[in-house]
Structure 1
Amino acid sequence: VDAEGRQLPYLDHLILVRFDGADSLRQAALRADVDVQAYPLRPDDLSTFAASTPTDPWRLLELPSSWHLTMEANVAYQEEPLRTFFGERGVREALMLGIDRQTINVLCYDGRCTPRQYSPIPESPWYDEGLSTAHVAYDPGRAGELLDEAGYGHRDADGWRSDAEGRRTSFRLAIVSATEGPLAIAARELSANLADLGIECLVEPLDPLGFVRRAAANRIEAVLTEREGMLMPIVSEYRRLFRTVGDYRDQWAGGYLYHRLYGDAPGDVVAVEPPADHWIRDLWSLWDQIAVSPDEEERNALYARVQALWQQEVPLIGIVGGVPRPCVVASGLRNLREGLPYDLETGGLGLQRPETFYWERPEQHGVVTPEPTRPAAD
C-alpha cells in the first residue's frame, strides 16, 4: 500500500526478452528497451552507464556485489614441478604480495574496486576484515624473500627462477575471454608483475569448450577468473568450492576435489589424492561438520575456523573486489531498493522483491494478453 493505505498497482505480468548476447543486451538497456536489468552487466560496465542524466528514460543503481577477480593456482595439478610449486604456502603468499592491485584496478575497472582477498563482503554477516585484507599490500621485496625461502632462489640464464633440480618456474595462465577487455588486460599486468619476481607466466586465452575439456583432464595450470558467492558464503561457497569440478572458477584444487568426490579409477589422470596431513583435509572436515550441524551458533563457529584456515593457507589468490554491480532501471519503476547486495551464487534467491515492484503510471504499461486457445478436437 502507499502512504495513504491504498493498494499499489503491483505488476501482473513479467515479460522475458531473449537477446543474442551480452553486448546486444547492454545496448538495449541503454535504449531503455528493457525495464530492469542487472545480469549480465559487469563492474566494467559502470563507466558506460554512470554517464546517465535525469532526462534519460532509465536510472542507474549501483548494488553492492560479491564480485571478485581471482587467480586460481592449481595446487592439485597432475604433474610436477607445478604441483609442488603451487603447493608451497610461501609461494602462494608470494603470489599475493607480488601483484600490483592498484594498477590493475585503475587500468581495468576505473579505480572502483578494492584490493582484497576472496572473502565475505562487508554486507555479509561473516565479514572478516583481517581475512579480506590479508597479504594484499603490494610488496615485491617480501615476495622475493618468500620465494627464496621456498627453494626458488636460483635463476637460470634468462633470469627466471628455478627449483632445486634446475626446472624453470613457468606456468600457463588461462583466461576464458577475448584477447582484449578487462580480463585480458588484467592477465597481462599480472604476467608482468610475476615476471618482475622471476616467474614466467604465459597468458593463454581459451574458448569455453576448450577450457572445460582441459579442466576435465586436470590440465589447467592456473586461471584468472571472476567469482561471486561471498554474500552468503556458508551456503554458496560450500556448493561452489567443494561440490563441483570442471568449472571456470574451481581450478584451485580440482584434482583433490575429484579424488574426494569420486575416488580413484584405473588409469585415471584427473584424481589426485592429497597427502594425509594436507590442510585441505582439515578444510573438508570443517565443511562436513557445518553441513550436518543443526545449530546456527555451532555452524558459525565452525565457519570462523574455515576463515582462519583460509587466511593462513591462501588457497586462492584474491586480486580485487568490492565493486558495485550496475543495475539499469526504467524511470517510473519503483520499489527496487538501493544498497541491497547482489550475488549470483545464492541459488536463485535474491534480496530484491519483484512481487512488490510497481509503476508510477501503470496505465502506460498495460499488456494485452491473448485468450487461451484450446487444441483442436481430433
Structure 2
Amino acid sequence: MVKAINQDFVRGSGINQNRTLVVAGIATVVVVVLVAITTALIYPKATAQSGTKVHLVLPNVGPGLQKKSKVLLRGAEVGVVTDVDSNDPYSVHVDIALDESAAASLTDSFDVDFRPANYFGTTAVNLISKTGGGAIRDGQTINRDSAPDFTMSTMIEHGSIVVDGSLTRDVISSLNKVTDYATGLAPLIETMIVVSDNVSRTQKHLPSVLMSRLNDLTAVFPKANVETLGALNAITNSSFNRMPDGSRGVDKAYHDLMNRSLTVASDGLFGAIGVLLGSHAAELTPVVTAVKYLSDEVPGVMGDASNMTKLQEAIEGLKRSFKGPKGQQTLQLRILLDSVPGIAQSMASMGVAPDQIPGPVKKSAGTDQPTTKKEG
C-alpha cells in the first residue's frame, strides 16, 4: 500500500505529488551526470593550452618544475609546461606547449636549461635558440643530453657547500685584516677625492694650455737634473766625506770638531741671544721698532728696478773714468767753474791761481755771469 505524501509546494493529489517528485529527482540525476561527463571530457580539451606541442626528453629537471610552469625564450614567456613525468629511471619527460610565433622562430636545435622565472625563484624552462636544424613540428620529441640547472635553490645549495668548505678560521682572519686595511685607507681615499674635487673646482684653463705649460717645465727639467746631480756630487765629495789623506771615508775628528762648533754656537751664541732677548724684552722692543721703521723706508729710497739700472750705468761710467796702465790708473775729470765767489776763494786758499788752471780763463769785470770753463 502506497502512502500518500502531502507537499505544500506541489499541488494535486498524493499520487501526482509522488510522480512529480520522482520526475524531478531523475532530471536532477541526469543533469549531474551530464555536468560530470562534460567536466571530465570536454573541459580539459576546451581549456587545454593551445600552440605547438613538444615532448622533451631530458637527463634531469630543475627543482620545483611542475605543470603550468613557464617556458621562457630570451627572457619572455612563450609557453607553458603541460606535463612532467619522472617515472623513467634514466630520463625525465617534459611536455611543453609553445606559442605559434615562438615555434616559428625556433628550430629543433635549441638548447634547454632551467632558471628562475622571477624574483621569487620560481623554476621555469629556458629555451636557447641556435642556428641550424629544422622547423619544429607539433608533437615532435626532442632529446637533449644536458640540461644545466641555474635555479635559485641549486645556486643556494652550491653556495652553502662552498662556504662550508672554504670559510675557515684562517679565511675569516684574513678577511678581518683586509677590512682593517680598507678602513685604514679610507682617510687616504677621502683625501684624494677632496683633492681631486678642489683641482676640478680651481681648474681654469683648457688641457691644451696646461700641456703647453707642462712642456715648458719639461724643457728645463734636464738642466735641473744636471744641477741636482752636481749638487749631490758636491755633497758626496765634500770635506765631510774625505779623510785627511784625500781618500773617501768619514773623518771622525773633523765631524767631532764641527759638532763641538755647532754646540758652542747653539749654546753660547744663540742661547745667549735668547737669554738677552728674554730678559731685556722691554728695552729691546723700542730699538727693534725703530729699526723696523728705518728698514721699511729702504725699499722706497732704493726705488724700482730702473734705479738699479741707473746705478749700474753710473758705476760703469766711474770705471771708465780711470785710465792708464794697471796699477797706475788716473782719474779723468772735467770741472766746470763759474764765477761764484765761494769757489774762487776756495781755489785761492788752496794756492791755485786762476792763471794756473789749465785751459782758457776769462774774466769779465763788473759782472757775475759764468765766464770760465776749465778742463782738467
Q: TM-score range by the shorter chain?
A: under 0.3
Structure (1/2) with the larger helix percentage: 2
Give 1 or 2 for the bigger CA radius of gyration.
2
Q: TM-score normalized by structure 1?
A: 0.14
